Structure 1
Amino acid sequence: MRIGAAARARTGALDQLRAKPPIDEAAAAGRLASRLAKEAAKREKRQHALLAAKALKHAKAQEAAAAAAVKQKPVLTEAERKAARDARYLARKNRASS
C-alpha cells in the first residue's frame, strides 16, 4: 500500500515536471540582467557608504586634532618662563610681607 502510494506520488511529480513549459531564454536573460544590475547598484551604494563613513571618520579626527591643538598650552620661551617665575616670586614675597 505505501509502496503503491509512493510510486503514484513519484509518477505524478514527474508528470508535473514534464508538463512544465520550457524556460523562455529571453525572460531568463532579462531576469539575469536585472539581478546583475541590482547587485551592481547595491555594490556601488555600499562603496559610497564606506567612502562617506571614511570621510566622516577623517573629519572627526581632524576636528579632534584641532580641539587638542587649541587645548594645548603655548610653549613659553626661556625669557617668558623667567618672567613668570619672577612674578610668582614677587607675589609670594608681597603676600608674606603683608
Structure 2
Amino acid sequence: MKNARNNEVADRRSSSAEAKAALLNAYRAAKTAAEPAKIARQAERTVISNAHEERRVERERVKLEEQTRIVTEAAERQAAAEAVIAAETEARERAEKARIARVVDDEALRKAERDRRYANRKARQA
C-alpha cells in the first residue's frame, strides 16, 4: 500500500512534467510554424512604412514647391508694384519739370515783351 500511494504522487509529478514538456514543445512548434507568417507580416509592415515615408516626402516636396511659388509670385508682384511706382514718380517729375520750363519760358517772354515796350516808349520819347 505504501508504494501505491507514492506511485500516485509520482504519477502526478510525471504527468505534470510531461504536460509542461508537451506545452513547451507545442509552443516551440507553433513558434516555428508561425515564423514564415511573422516574416511576411514584418515585410508587409516594412513595405507600408516605406510607402508612408514616400508619401510624406512627396507631400513635403509639394509643400516646398508651393511655398517657393508663392514667394516668387509675391516678389514678382512687389517688383511690378515698384516699377509702377517708379514710372508714376518719373512721369510726375517730368510733368513738374515741363511745367517749370513753361513757367520759365512764359516769364522770359513776359520780360522780353516788357523790355520791347520799354524800348518803344524810350524811342518815342527820344
State the TM-score bracket (shorter-chain normalisation). Answer: 0.5 to 0.7
Q: TM-score, normalised by structure 2?
A: 0.47
In the TM superposition, residue 84 of structure 1 has moved relative to its aligned partner by: 3.6
Quick one: distance in 1 between partners of 2:18 and 2:28? 23
Q: In 2 relative to 1, CA 18–74 (structure 1 residues): closer, same or farther, beyond 3 Å?
A: same
In the TM superposition, residue 20 of structure 1 has moved relative to its aligned partner by: 3.6
The percent of aligned pairs where both chains have the same amino acid is 13
Runs of 4 or more off by more than 3 Å in structure 1? 11-16, 18-30, 88-91
Give the partner amino acid of 2:90.
D
Give the aligned partner of residue 36 of structure 1: 39
Quick one: distance in 2 between partners of 1:40 and 1:65? 37
Q: TM-score, normalised by structure 1?
A: 0.58
* Alignment root-mean-square deviation, CA: 3.6
Q: In 2 relative to 1, CA 49–21 (structure 1 residues): closer, same or farther, beyond 3 Å?
A: closer
Q: In 2 relative to 1, CA 17–74 (structure 1 residues): closer, same or farther, beyond 3 Å?
A: same
Q: Which runs of 5+ in 1 are unaligned?
A: 1-10
Task: Determine which structure has more spread, i.e. the larger CA radius of gyration.
Answer: 2
What are the within-5 Å matches in structure 2 for residues 19-30 of structure 1?
19-20=22-23, 22-23=25-26, 28-30=31-33
Number of equivalences: 79
Give the number of the structure whose residues are more often helix, by fraction.
Answer: 2
Q: In 2 relative to 1, CA 88–29 (structure 1 residues): closer, same or farther, beyond 3 Å?
A: farther
Q: Could you say what secondary structure the match of 1:74 adopts?
A: helix
Give the partner amino acid of 1:56.
R
Give the aligned partner of residue 50 of structure 1: 53
What are the within-5 Å matches in structure 2 for residues 3-82 of structure 1?
14-20=17-23, 22-23=25-26, 28-72=31-75, 73-74=78-79, 81=86
Q: Which runs of 5+ in 2 are unaligned?
A: 1-12, 100-126
